[in-house]
Structure 1
Amino acid sequence: MLSSTRMYCLAGLGVTAASALLASYLRHRREEEMLWVEVGRVEDLVIFPIKSGHGTSVHKATATKFGLQCGPLTDRAFVVVLVTPEKMVHMNSGMVPMLATISAAITESSVVLSSPVTKATNSFDLHKTVQRLIFVGDPETFKNVARAPNVYPFTQFKNTDLRLYHDTCAFLVTSPSSLDDLNTRLETPVTMNQFRSNIIVSGQPAFDEDNWAYVKIGDSTILRTLKPRESCIRINVRPDSGKRQNEVLDVMRKYRVPPMPEKLAKQWAHKPIFGLHMALDQPGDIAVGDTVYAVRRKPEWFL
């Protein structure tokens, strides 16, 4: 007779296997039921060469498994690090708000950094907090998998979804109508750069993107929604000055907190949602003006 301990272990494994099978089944059902509808056009493509740095708008880009790429520019390919004898810490604009003002002009042989509050330089001194900016390795050697939250079983994540120095995943999709809606509630309007999105899609009402399960851009590029994007204190940092504008997060907490699922609503009460975290299903070239299609999610497609 099996011991109770062993029985519990087997039961646990059975539940895990069943959950994995259910997730796989739902994904295959989605692929069979996909109905693409036109939702708008690409209004802007933005690459952030430095994690937490200033974005660079481009007219065309390639959607790769690591994010947007245009010539020598690759999204979040650089990161500012604080090196001590004990450890190396990746810095962000929540820790050092002035990072949000730094732009990077990158060629095959050089990186020139600039900010509206200082002169251009080949290195960048952020006082005693950060001493220099460095690049680590070739993207192809990185196996950073998209990071799913522990608080909820988002079934859309796959272990083949990759990222570089992104916090969660390789793509963030938003819409200008959603930003316009937010700005009607703020005393001081903000720009999309403050939300650090890569692909801005115009043509639908505010927050229509909440219901997109998949996005197709042009003839080939397909992105899969992983989850809504939670907002943290970094969206309070203005990229033109590096100063914090606390009302942004405060206002969003009043109306961008979906009540369901209940477990996530508690987290979203502190981190309201704006935009979609997405991963690449099919690579391709995309450009400003390209037609964008979406598959709208169904109730059983958990987000």
Structure 2
Amino acid sequence: MNKLLLSEINIYPIKSLGGISLQSATLEESGLQYDRRWMLIDEEGIFITQRKHFELALLQVSIANGKLSISHKKLPEQNISFSLDEDTGEQISVVIWSDTATALEVNKTVSHWFSNFLKFKVRLVKMPMAEKRMVDPRYASNNEVVSFADGYPCLIIGQSSLDGLNEKLDEPILMNRFRPNFVFTGGKPHIEDSFKDFQIGQVLFSAVKPCARCVLITIDQQTGEKGQEPLRTLAGYRTVGKKIIFGQNLLHKKAGLINVGDELKVITWKA
């Protein structure tokens, strides 16, 4: 088998907004540094995503000089930024799926900017460093923790999995529909389904659960428009137990530095 090489590292600092592609990244306890450390919530404290609000795809995030900036992909004059360390200090109880966590509002001005964009009242919150949101105990092996990601610290997809899907589609799509943290080249389509334990750089990972897919992958990340693909095509060949599967959720053993170009070495394969 040809070598498996890491070809992309992506982080999504604000849950459900545009991602940032990196050449090198630090893996921390709850996932990649800055990945899903911020999130939008409604007045009840419930998380907000592209699943209902497709227009969030139009907001691009960047990090530079200690600041996080948000800009509209089509209207760049619509933008705002704030310090990575900024928060009001007020603790807020927030809900992500069936989890409850503690968060801090960034500031009222940023929340107002997002409220104007979405046309209803929201707040932008960050996860405090001391907060411990636990991974589902059915899949955790060592009391692992996670940021505001849906459930797991990291997600991996093989480039050949997307290439195989695009061969079946009338219009090819980009990998950003699936919002992976890691993309690798080499191997047959969906070889990641067979990973059990593997290493990237100096970091050990375990693939613990296939990633079930929803309506979010039908949203074009460049236009914010929703279609029927690729969910419809994937339903024809990637359905397992009534769920459409694409990519693998990961847990990791320790912190470390990961670089594009690192070899992915499989230690043990699933039976």
**In the TM superposition, what whole-angstrom CA distance separates every residue of 1:25-78 from its partner, at most 9, and x where no partner exists?**
xxxxxxxxxxxx985111010011110111110000011121112xxxx10011
Contact 1:65–1:162 (Cα < 8 Å) also in 2 = yes
Partner Cα distance (2:203, 2:216) in 1: 29
**In the TM superposition, what whole-angstrom CA distance separates every residue of 1:125-149 from its partner, at most 9, and x where no partner exists?**
32323545x23342x311111136x
Partner Cα distance (1:143, 1:108) in 2: 27
SS of residue matched to 2:183: strand
2:21 pairs with 1:75: no
Which of 22, 27, 42 aligns to 2:6? It is: 42
Partner Cα distance (1:57, 1:50) in 2: 14
2:180 pairs with 1:197: yes
Contact 2:2–2:186 (Cα < 8 Å) also in 1 = no
Which of 144, 148, 169 aligns to 2:152? It is: 169
SS of residue matched to 2:230: helix
In proportion to residue count, which structure has more helix? Answer: 1
Contact 1:174–1:275 (Cα < 8 Å) also in 2 = yes
Superposition TM-score, scaled by structure 1 size = 0.73
The aligned counterpart of 1:141 is: 130
Amino acid at match of 2:119: K
2:261 pairs with 1:289: yes
The aligned counterpart of 1:243 is: 225
Partner Cα distance (2:27, 2:165) in 1: 28
Partner Cα distance (1:276, 1:137) in 2: 24
Where structure 1 has 5 or more consecutive residues not aligned to the other structure, the ranges are 1-36, 149-153, 259-264
Offset of residue 238 of structure 1: 1.1
Offset of residue 272 of structure 1: 0.7
Partner Cα distance (2:19, 2:70) in 1: 12
2:108 pairs with 1:126: no
RMSD, aligned CA: 1.9
The aligned counterpart of 2:49 is: 92
Superposition TM-score, scaled by structure 2 size = 0.81
Amino acid at match of 2:63: I
Partner Cα distance (1:192, 1:273) in 2: 15
Offset of residue 80 of structure 1: 1.1
2:218 pairs with 1:254: no
Offset of residue 285 of structure 1: 0.5
Contact 2:156–2:183 (Cα < 8 Å) also in 1 = yes
SS of residue matched to 1:129: coil
**In the TM superposition, what whole-angstrom CA distance separates every residue of 1:150-197 from its partner, at most 9, and x where no partner exists?**
xxxx5x423521111111111000011000111111122111111000
The aligned counterpart of 2:250 is: 278
Aligned counterparts, 1:178-217, within 5 A? 178-217=161-200
Offset of residue 296 of structure 1: 3.8
Partner Cα distance (1:298, 1:121) in 2: 46
Offset of residue 109 of structure 1: 4.7
Contact 1:147–1:167 (Cα < 8 Å) also in 2 = no
Partner Cα distance (1:221, 1:39) in 2: 17
2:17 pairs with 1:53: yes
Offset of residue 108 of structure 1: 5.7
Aligned residues between the structures: 237
Identity %: 26
The aligned counterpart of 2:102 is: none
Closer, same or farther: CA 130–44 of 1 in aligned 2, 3 Å: farther
2:222 pairs with 1:233: no
SS of residue matched to 2:126: coil
